[in-house]
Each structure stands twice: as structure tokens, then as C-alpha cells.
Structure 1
Amino acid sequence: MDVDLSNQEQAIKFKEQGNDAYKKKDFEKALELYNKAIELDSNNMVYYTNVAAVLFEQKDYDKCIDTCIKAVDIGRENKADFKLIAKAYARIGNAARKLGDLKKAKMYYEKSLSEHRTPDVKTLLSETEALWKEEERKAYVNPELAEQEKEKGNELFKKGQFSEALKYYTEAIKRNPDDAKLYSNRAACYTKLAAFDLGLKDCEKCLEIDPKFTKAWIRKGKILQGMQQYTKASAAYQSAIELDANASEAVEGYRQCVMAASSNPEEVRKNAMTDPEIQQILRDPAMRMILEQMQSDPKALMDHLKNPEVAAKINKLLESGLISIQ
């Protein structure tokens, strides 16, 4: 095919002038110049992607996408650099994201990366996937269906079919993730199945949503008590008692924990040593020096307690039974 070099040269000049106008945000002028470049050299996909860039700035996202698709077709026909194809696909992804079509944006970011991998597009893809998943999660939320799933779970729980009940509680949580009671119900299931770590995690999520949910504090206390973490269990029971002084389960649980701790202090200390927070305190050289100083000079304790951060660490060690003050 014969190529008119003078036309190509003139097209490049129009493109450069268009670039200058684009930088000055004179988008109408830039669009006019890019289109002139296309009239002179319609086989160069760069001019189409430049037009698409202007359309993106003008918020004409649909037309931007159409122009990028045309640019890719022309680029393929004329064996354009794969990096240019990737750039056009990425721009389609950006426009689709502006239009709120996250599924389409995700697809074109993936197409872009299949042509040429760049950190920027990888980041855009990750962000879009996260937004899309969140959209899907929100679309799935339905409090009425959550209530139905919960009731099915309750029926199975009463029958002792804990594994089956667990499935319905999990589905209920997906349908209404902000309902604290659902996490409490599932925690009860996990406890029956001896999955204490998972039950504890659900109790903590429940209390994150509703810190005044007395039953969840009691349930957390029972799980910790079952794990023989009596200090933490008694703290959970104490929180329940503060919310409801008549919570007999909490009062009884607290009493049992205190008795268990006093009857087997060695076991309490052993359990305390598995606590990551206590491990970190004991590894702290400054705290070790403070503890040694407290042993040789009991009066030093009062000075150290004036520092809130140090006081909190000392109280943590006192609660765990690892240290005592005579």
C-alpha cells in the first residue's frame, strides 16, 4: 500500500499541537487537532486513543469506550505495539469504572494486563475487584431472608443438629452482616462443635457491633472458661455483670473462674504465657528492667504507675497472675 509521507508528517504535527492544547486543558481544540490527524493518517491508533483521552476528560465515557475499541481494532490491523493496545484497554477500564460498570472495568483491566503488565493497571484491577466484591456483598444483603435463615438455624440447633444449624446461621450473616445476634447464634454453634477459636471470633465480632449485648459477653466468658483462660473469662463475665447486675450466668461464671484461678495458680500462669500481649510485655527490655527494679525497691512501683502505658502493662501482668504485689 502506498503511503503518503507528507500526510503522515502533517498528521504528527497536528497530534503534537493537539497534545499542547490537551496540556492546557483546551479540550475542544485538542479534539479538533486529533481528528485532523486521523483524517490524514487513519491507520495510526495513537490518534484515536488521544481522542479517547479528550472524551474521558469531557466525561463522555460511552464515546470514550467506543473510540478505544475502534483504536484497538485499527491497532490490530496495523500491527501496533502491544503496549498501545494495553493502554487503550486500560482507558476502557477507567471509563467503565466511571460509569459504575465494575464488571466491565475488571474485564478490560485484565485484557490490558494480558497485553502488557504495568503496576498502575494491576493496582486498578485490585481496587476494582475489591469494589465489585463489596457491591456484590451489599446486593446480597436482605434482612428478611436473613431472619428466615436464622429461624431455620434455630430449629436445627434445638434438635442438636449443630453442623446443619451452622450453615443457616452463616447464610443469615451473609444476608445481614450487621446483625449482632447472628454472630452470637453462630458462636453458640461453634461452641457446641468445640471450635472455640471460631466461636470466640464471632463473639468479638458481635460485641464490635453491639458492645452492650450482655448475652455475647456471657458466651465469650464461657468459651474462654472452656479454654481455661480464666483471667480473660472473668473479665468477660465482669463486663456482662456491669451491663446487667442480675445476670446469674455471668455471676456464676465469674465465681467459677475466680475459684479455678485460686485453686490452680500454676495453670493460670501457664495459660497467661500463651497470651501474645503478655509475651510482648515480657520481651520488652524496658519492662524487664522495671520489674527487676520493683523487686529490689517496692516503692518504685508508685513512680512507674504514674506512666499510663507502663501501668497498663503492670496491671496486665497482675491480672494474669504472673506477678503479685505484697
Structure 2
Amino acid sequence: MTTADEYKAEGNKYFAAKEFEKAIESFTKAIEASPQPNHVLYSNRSGSYASLKEYDQALKDAQECIKINPSWAKGYNRVGGAQFGLGNLEDAQKAYEECLSLDANNAQAKEGLKSVENSIKARNSSGDMGLGAIFRDPNLITKLKSNPKTSELMKDPDLVAKVLNIQANPQTNATQLLSDPRLMTIMATLMGIDMDFSAEGGEPSSKTEDDASKPEEKVETEKKEEPKPTEETKSETKPAAEGKKVDSEGDVEMKDAPQGDKEAADKAKAEGNTLYKQRKFDEAIAAYDKAWELHKDITYLNNRAAAEYEKGDYDAAVATCDKAVDEGRDMRADYKLIAKSFARLGNIYLKKDDLEQAVKYFDKSLTEHRTPDVLNKLRSTQREIKSREAQAYVNPEKAEEARLEGKEYFTKGDWPNAVKAYGEMIKRAPEDPRGYSNRAAALVKLLSYPDAVRDCDTAIEKDPDFIRAYIRKANAQLMMKEYSHCMETLNEAREKDSKLGGKNLHEIDQLFGRASTQRFQAIDGETPEQTMERVSKDPEIVQILQDPVMQGILSQARDNPAALQDHMKNPEVAKKVNMLVAAGVIRTR
């Protein structure tokens, strides 16, 4: 059963990918699955609704959030954001002030309050609520259509007309802002106010800087490829997202990171990225070092580790990643950045063929932040470890000892120990079909027929000409009264054995006779006529009798029985004739 925490993590993932409808669906499931009301879940869903500009729903969830936990400061941030989106500036102001009364250092509330106060001031500065200055630009419509935040909204002709009306007569049409939340979005965009809100529980804001040229660690292959830009976590545009920590509620608290010359640091990083792409790794490392000295952001350390990795200096890359983790912990950096450091450590150890260490650090990365790529690497590395362990265990001599031990137990009738011994043989010689076939024989004695069939299938897969495996499989199927499957297995065995000299044909035919007799034998109290009528309705028999080719062969055999022997040389015809004989449709003297 999926838990509330799992639905919450799923919602956070969708929020980070800007799939807000799916995020809402996941958070709704989390709310339903939660054993008791959880204020963080309502906060997360409120943020998702706000990102879709559905401020009415965002406000309802925000109010439910603070109803559940009135002392949780961030809930009031949600209320403030939703009220601001609805154009209720005074209510938004009260919500942000309430947040600050509970948490005086809440950077998001400080910024929100500042934006609201600026809006109130602009509105009250003139009779037109300050719209004249905001909507003055003659290229306003063109700019709104090209702005990614408003381009979709401007596809509505009615909304465009409203914007033009406000632009033409802001004092008369100012009240339209209160009746259409879309106009508030447009106004906020023109004022440079961020109306997006991040999901709680560790997911970043959907608004990030454009940072496309970041070093990317390559997938671990022997083939050398051109380095690709990395997917380091992008810097938040809002001061509140410079650093984070997780509180006891599972939500993200914001903490200011060490300040420095961020602009110069990013410039140095960009230089490093260019050098990285040119495979000038020493120069790239120097540029990243410069960025780090200018501004303490572990993204620069992660990038330096990527360059050291590509250079082949794995020990240096390990030391840099360790430093990134330590520094990141001290400054409470975004957990995604620390996850990147751990993932890169995993890749380094994978390259060094230290699989145990690689698993350790991939697992640490997933503990910080779960991503499909790292999860796949973890599972792939774990599979490789198991494969190597199995290969290291292979020993033909030990396998033969286990086979003889199993044979001894089988002869004594000690079936459980026989199964155990043959299992050891399989581990020691996984490509030898005899181990699977012998274990199947012991499993039949223990009445474990499905397991016996599976072992026989594996033996046949290892050696398609291993007739004993077919016979043992057919025996197990006969015990399960799977007569049709049993006869199919025997027909396949007969065809294989005929090509190999026919040493097992007598045993195969005997077993086939038993299977066909049991399949078509009379049921207690059934007359011969009733038996024949029932058999004639068997789907396989009906299909054979309706086959035009078989009809021609049977018609010819009535006049010339010897001709049937010539047709029996065809394996398919022989199979169908044997089936009719077993069913009693064809009688032999």
C-alpha cells in the first residue's frame, strides 16, 4: 500500500518538474492516505494551485494548513501568496505580518510583505491605483505575449481587450483587477514580482535562473565522449533559496548562505564551463577554484570534481566531493547539491571498480534526493556485485562433488537434502543443465511440481537437446493433470530425440500413452458413447478434425491404410494422428 510520505515525495517530484496538475493529484492522495491531518500536505497542494494561478483553491488549502497548525509560520506565507494572487492586498499584508510575528527571520515573508506594500503604495499613489505608470509602455501587448509567464494568458482575446482598456483609461478600469486574477498576474509580472511558490518538503521553486552551460559527469563507459553540461541545481532567484535546512515537520526552512561576489563567481564558473567543454580541464579547475573563493557555493566544487574526474585524477575528485559535502553541511546548502556530490563520488568509485564504495555513495545520494538516474546506477551496480559474486563461486570440481552428494541423498530417499545438494551444484556450475534437471527430479518427489517444471525449463534453455529434462517436465505436468501441456512437451521431446538417434523414444511413447489415456479415459458412470461424445468436443480434437489437410489424409487412409504410414513421416501429421489415436477417434488393431 502506498503511504502518505510516498505520495508526498511523488508530488514533490512532479512539482519540481512543473507538472502541477500531477503534483496536485499526488498531494491529494497523500492527504487521503495520511492517518491524521497534515498541514505540510495542504501547504504543498496550495503551492501547486498557486503555480497554476488557481488562487481560490490555493487559499482554501492555505487556510486549512494554518487551521491544522496555527503556529507554523510558513502556512501564513501560503495564505499571503494566495491573497496577493487574488488581489486582496490588505489580507496578504496581514498574512505576511503574521508569519513574521512567528518567525522574524523568514526571508520569504519579508520579500512577500515588501512586494505587497509596494503594490499598495503604487495603488494608493494615484486615483488609477498606479496603473497608469505600470501600463504606460506602448509595446505592452507585444511584451506580454513574448513573456513566458503571460504568453498563454494573452492568447485570450477578451483578456487582451481588458489590458487595452486599462491602458487607455486606467482610472476608470482599475476595478477590473479585482474581478480577474489573470490581470493580477499580468500586473505582478510588469512589477517584477514572483508569483510562483515552492513546494514544501524539500523541492525547489519552479522559478530558477537560466544556467545551461554546467559541467556534466558522463555515464561510466569505456568510450570517451565529448563532456556534456552538468545538471547542477540551479540557483534560486530569491534570496530565501540561497540555503536550506529541513525542520522537524519535513518542510524546508530557508537560511542565508555565505555571501560573496556572486556575479563575479558565476562569471568565473561560466569561464570554467567553456574550458571544460574544450577539455582544458586544468584551466577549468582553476576557474572553478576562483569562483569558489569569490562566493561559497558548492556547485563550483561539484563542477571542479567533474573536471578532475574527466581529467582522470580520481583521488583529487574524491577529495573535492568530500569537501563539497562538508562545506555544504556547514552552510546548510540545498540537499540536491549534496546529493550531486554523493552521486559523483559513486561514479568515481564505479570508475575505479570499487563497487562496494560506489553502492555506498549512490545510496547516500538517494537519501539526500531521489532521482531515477542515480537509482538506476545503484541497482545496476548491485546487480554487477551479485553477478561477480556468483561468478567467483563457480567451481566445476565443487559442482561435481555436490552432484554426487545429491545423487546419494536421492538414492536414500532424502529428498530435501537432495534438493539442497543439487542447488549447491547449480551455484557452482550454473550453466550445467544436469543440476536443474536433477533438482527437478527431487522436487517431483516432494510434490513440488511447478518448481520442477521451472527447473526443467531452465535445463532446456541451457541445453535444448537435453531429452531427460523434457521427460521430467512431462512427468511433472502429468502429475498436475495438465494433459495437453504434457503431450506437447512429449511431442517436442520425440522430435528432438528422433534427430539424436531415438534412444528415448520408447519411454516418450509410454509416457505419451499414459497422458492420453488419462486425458481421454472414461469418467466413472460414463457410457462409451458418452465418452466418445465428450472427447469429440475436445478443442484440440475438433481443430484436428476440421483441418482440411487432415481430412484429406484420413479420407485416403480409409481406402488405403498403408498410405497413412507415409504421411506419418511428417512430424506434424504424426503428432495429430497420435492425438486422434489416443482419443479413440482412430482405432488400431
Please, what TM-score do these two structures have when normalized by structure 2?
A: 0.44
CA offset at residue 30 of structure 1?
1.3
Aligned-partner Cα distance in 2 for 1:219–1:260: 18
Q: Do 1:38 and 1:44's aligned partners in 2 also have CA atoms closer than 8 Å?
A: yes
| SS of match in other structure, 1:28 | helix
After TM superposition, list the pairs within 5 Å mapping 1:1-326 onto structure 2: 5-6=260-261, 9-41=263-295, 43-238=296-491, 239-240=493-494, 241-242=497-498, 243-247=500-504, 248-264=506-522
Q: Do 1:214 and 1:244's aligned partners in 2 also have CA atoms closer than 8 Å?
A: no
State which drifts further: 28-37 or 65-74: 28-37
CA spacing shift, 1:261–1:4, aligned 2, 3 Å: closer
Write the deviation string for residues 232-260 of structure 1: whole angstroms up to 9, x where unpaired: 32333341442442323223212323333
Q: Do 2:260 and 2:294's aligned partners in 1 also have CA atoms closer than 8 Å?
A: no
Q: Do 1:187 and 1:199's aligned partners in 2 also have CA atoms closer than 8 Å?
A: yes
The structure with the largest helix share of the pair is 1
Write the deviation string for residues 167-223 of structure 1: whole angstroms up to 9, x where unpaired: 111122122211100001000001101111111111111111111112112212222
1:284 aligned residue: none
Aligned-partner Cα distance in 2 for 1:88–1:46: 9
* Partner AA of 2:502 in structure 1: A
List gaps (5 residues or longer) in structure 1: 279-290, 303-311
CA offset at residue 148 of structure 1?
1.6
CA spacing shift, 1:123–1:319, aligned 2, 3 Å: farther
Write the deviation string for residues 55-78 of structure 1: whole angstroms up to 9, x where unpaired: 122233332222111211121222
| SS of match in other structure, 1:202 | helix
| SS of match in other structure, 1:147 | helix
CA spacing shift, 1:192–1:5, aligned 2, 3 Å: closer
Q: Do 2:399 and 2:424's aligned partners in 1 also have CA atoms closer than 8 Å?
A: yes
* Partner AA of 2:309 in structure 1: F
List gaps (5 residues or longer) in structure 2: 1-257, 523-530, 552-571
RMSD of aligned Cα (Å): 3.3
| SS of match in other structure, 1:212 | coil
CA spacing shift, 1:153–1:111, aligned 2, 3 Å: same
Q: Do 1:150 and 1:168's aligned partners in 2 also have CA atoms closer than 8 Å?
A: yes
Aligned-partner Cα distance in 1 for 2:516–2:259: 94
Aligned-partner Cα distance in 2 for 1:220–1:129: 33
Aligned-partner Cα distance in 2 for 1:45–1:5: 13
CA spacing shift, 1:185–1:22, aligned 2, 3 Å: same
Please, what TM-score do these two structures have when normalized by structure 1?
A: 0.76
Write the deviation string for residues 259-284 of structure 1: whole angstroms up to 9, x where unpaired: 33443479x97xx89xxxx9xxxxxx
Aligned-partner Cα distance in 2 for 1:150–1:220: 20
CA offset at residue 105 of structure 1?
1.2
Write the deviation string for residues 93-129 of structure 1: whole angstroms up to 9, x where unpaired: 1111122222111111111111122222222222222
Aligned-partner Cα distance in 2 for 1:143–1:46: 52
CA spacing shift, 1:94–1:215, aligned 2, 3 Å: same
Aligned-partner Cα distance in 1 for 2:339–2:488: 57
| SS of match in other structure, 2:464 | coil
Aligned-partner Cα distance in 1 for 2:392–2:479: 38
Q: Rg larger in 1 or in 2?
A: 2
Q: Do 1:187 and 1:198's aligned partners in 2 also have CA atoms closer than 8 Å?
A: yes
Aligned-partner Cα distance in 2 for 1:182–1:44: 58
CA offset at residue 161 of structure 1?
0.5
Q: Do 1:231 and 1:319's aligned partners in 2 also have CA atoms closer than 8 Å?
A: no
Aligned-partner Cα distance in 2 for 1:168–1:129: 27
| SS of match in other structure, 1:117 | coil
| SS of match in other structure, 2:333 | coil
| SS of match in other structure, 1:228 | coil
Number of aligned residues: 285
CA spacing shift, 1:220–1:5, aligned 2, 3 Å: closer
Aligned-partner Cα distance in 2 for 1:81–1:258: 70
Write the deviation string for residues 9-35 of structure 1: whole angstroms up to 9, x where unpaired: 533321221122223443333122112
State which drifts further: 181-190 or 98-107: 98-107
Aligned-partner Cα distance in 2 for 1:301–1:217: 27
